Structure 1
Amino acid sequence: MSAADLLPLLRGLVWTIALTAGAFLIGAILGVPLLVARRSRFWPVSTLAMVLIQIVRSIPPILWLFLIFFGLGMGLMPISPFHAALLGLGMIAAANMAEIYRGAVASIHHGQWEAAIALDLSRWSVSRDIVAPQAFRVALPSAASYLIGLMKETAVASTIGVSELAYQGNQLSQLSYRGLEVFALVGLFYVLLSLPIAWLSRLADSYLLAKVAR
């Protein structure tokens, strides 16, 4: 395969990285208020958050992208394929990250909450200074695994015309008639993207574990 053939794949790789990073950032940020709503003592709020999370997670990503791009984008307001994919995958990431956060917070022993209350600490102080640092370490492996899964899910954005890695691979295979060669290379790119994420996750987890042990 020539260098000229690699250029479209490299451009697609850039779009894949941008879409993955953007959607994960949206999910990591919006997952926090969703978690707060999910854990609310006011049952209508917690129930609404639970239903919203389950609906978002139950519908396939490709259908969300179709609803946003062909429904919202073609009807109410114009939206580019990339922004439609970013919105759809970011929304899905928010629901999944909220559940990851919830599991991490639930793993914190209730005795720490009771001890903090006994010391007359505010709920905000307990959440920020005691629960959040521990929950972050617990959530890190699951968040890294989800990030790798999200990177692979960006391939569905090709169905609405986002020129990411899978889209460029498909275009190149049709032009060159070398599908096996092209898609093997595309798969290699995905592997090369996944390995640093997994390595950094293990490194961060080891660092945080050492800090907790001290």
Structure 2
Amino acid sequence: MTLDAVLLIASGIPLTLAVTAGAFALGAVLGIPLCALRVSRSSTLHLAAVAIIMLLRSIPPIVWLFLLYFGIGSGFLRVGPVEASVAALGLITAANMAEIYRGALRGVHSGQWEASTALGMKPWARFRDVLAPQICRMALPSSVTFFIGLLKDSAIASTIGVGEIAFQANYISRRTFEGLEVFAVAGLVYILISLPIAAMSRQLDSRLRERVAQ
């Protein structure tokens, strides 16, 4: 492999990160109301949330991608490759984040709610100072693990022409017939991106633990 080929693969990093970050941000936001419905005392809302989460998680990501890009995106609503990738992965992320939020919420001991109420804390202050740090700390490991998995899943965006890492690697391998070397380098790039993310999450987890302990 030449240096130019390595640089071409590396040129796909910005789009890989953009798709991953965009999908994660979208899913993290949509996951909040979905989680609220999931833990609702209303059986109708609860069942609706369960059905939505099962639907989003049961269908393979590439099917959602093709549905949005070749289906909806080719009809009345024009959707570009990057937007379709972010939307498809974002919907799946929303379902998974809703479950992560729900697990973290259940992990907060009921005594925390009762103690903060007994201290006369206002609802917003109680959530901000007592509950949110604990929920974030408990949700962080699973969220980072999912983010790294999402980073790898972003490779499906190459199937609709998004010029991310896998797309560039496939392009080079078709031109040079050096599939093994090319995709080995692409795999190494994914690893080099994932390791700093994991390291930063551990630092953030330590800080959150210190804040909760105070």
TM-score in same-fold range (> 0.5): yes
Give 3-state SS (helix, strand or coil) of 1:173's partner.
helix
Tell me how large the CA RMSD over aligned residues is. 1.6
Tell me, which stretches of 5 or more residues in structure 1 are unaligned?
none
Q: How does 1:111-150 map to 2 (within 5 A)?
A: 111-119=111-119, 124-150=124-150
- Tell me, in whole angstroms, the C-alpha distance in 2 between the residues paired with 1:72 and 1:20: 21
Please say if 1:98 is aligned against 2:84.
Answer: no
**Unpaired stretches in structure 2, ≥5 consecutive residues:** none
Matching of residue 194 in structure 1 with residue 164 in structure 2: no
What is the percentage of aligned positions where both structures have the same residue?
Answer: 50
Structure 1 segment 57-72 matched on structure 2, within 5 A:
57-72=57-72
The amino acid of 2:23's aligned partner reads A
Normalising by structure 1, we get a TM-score of 0.93
Aligned length: 214
* CA distance in structure 2 between the aligned counterparts of 1:127 and 1:91, rounded to whole angstroms: 27
- 1:105-164 deviations in Å (ceiling 9; x for gaps): 100111222334445656555434322210100001110100000000001111222111
Structure 1 stretches (4+) deviating beyond 4 angstroms?
117-125
Residues 11-70 of structure 1: CA distance to partner in whole angstroms, max 9, x if unpaired? Answer: 212110111111111111111121122222222222211211111011110110011111
Partners of 2:127 and 2:49 in 1: CA distance: 19
In the aligned structure 2, how far is the partner of 1:122 from the partner of 1:36? 20
Q: 1:13 matched to which residue of 2?
A: 13
**8 Å CA contact 2:133, 2:212 repeated in 1:** no
Q: Please state if 1:75 is matched with 2:90.
A: no
Q: Which moved more, 1:97-106 or 1:73-82?
A: 73-82
**2: distance between equivalents of 1:18 and 1:135?**
26
* TM-score, normalisation: structure 2: 0.93
CA contact (8 A) 2:17 2:151 kept: yes
Letter of the 1:143 counterpart: S
Give the letter for the 1:89 counterpart: L
